[in-house]
Amino acid sequence: MKNLNRQREIMEEISQRCYCAVWLEDLEYILWNQVINFKNNKVKKDIPWGQSEIKLEEIKQLHTLSNKTQLWWDGQIAIPLETWKKEADGNKKLLSGIEKRKN
């Protein structure tokens, strides 16, 4: 439970720091995209986003925690990682959200 709570805290911290929102719309897709990019060795530094940045260390932690818990947060609900992967795969257009919200 500790890992799951920490995962949500990190996601909320990013949203608050970058957009002054507890949970920015589509946050789960945007952060998942960065976790996938990290896993595929495409993220090697902090990513500018909104008023701040998504820190590389946060992406690493989200990657590690999602693997440990086998869950991902979809808004207020933690869902099984395999279910989330299917959901995210079906919403590819949302996965590019970081590009739309960089400024």
CA atoms of 63 and 38, how far apart (whole Å) = 8
> How confident is the model over 10-19, as a mean pLDDT?
97
Integer angstrom CA distances of residue 1 from 6, 9, 15, 40: 9, 12, 21, 27
pLDDT (0 to 100) of residue 6: 96
Report whether pLDDT(29) > 80: yes
Report whether pLDDT(98) > 80: no
pLDDT (0 to 100) of residue 76: 87
Q: For the chain, give the percent of residues with pLDDT over 90.
A: 73
Q: What is the pLDDT of residues 39-85, one digit of tens each?
A: 999 989 999 999 999 999 999 999 999 999 999 999 889 999 999 99
